[in-house]
Amino acid sequence: MTGANRRKAEALFAERRELASGHVIEMRIWRVPEPVPPSTHGLKYSLYFGKPGQRLVGYDNERGKGDHRHYGERQEPYAFTTVEQLVADFLADVRARGGT
């Protein structure tokens, strides 16, 4: 599609919290006109917990990698079901890594 016919991503949620520890929690979720391959749902997301230059927990669905999570140095597939479950899983990992 081109010009006025091109649909754009729609921001659904964006939040950034700076914790007293110096850690940052940042969550961004968009509705996209087409799934980000190989994901099959119509969302793009990026959830981050860490300090500048040090990601401790991250969830995203990068093009070519699909839904996955970063936990420390590990990267593994993530089975996306709903936005609510995504945020709950992310926050559980954040708590496990010392975030609140």
SS3 65: coil
For position 30, what pLDDT does the model report? 97
**Residue 39 phi/psi, 5° resolution?**
-60, 155
| pTM, full prediction | 0.88
What type of residue sits at position 60? D
More confident residue, 69 or 98: 69
Model pLDDT for residues 46-77, shown as the tens digit of each residue: 999 999 889 999 999 999 999 999 999 999 99
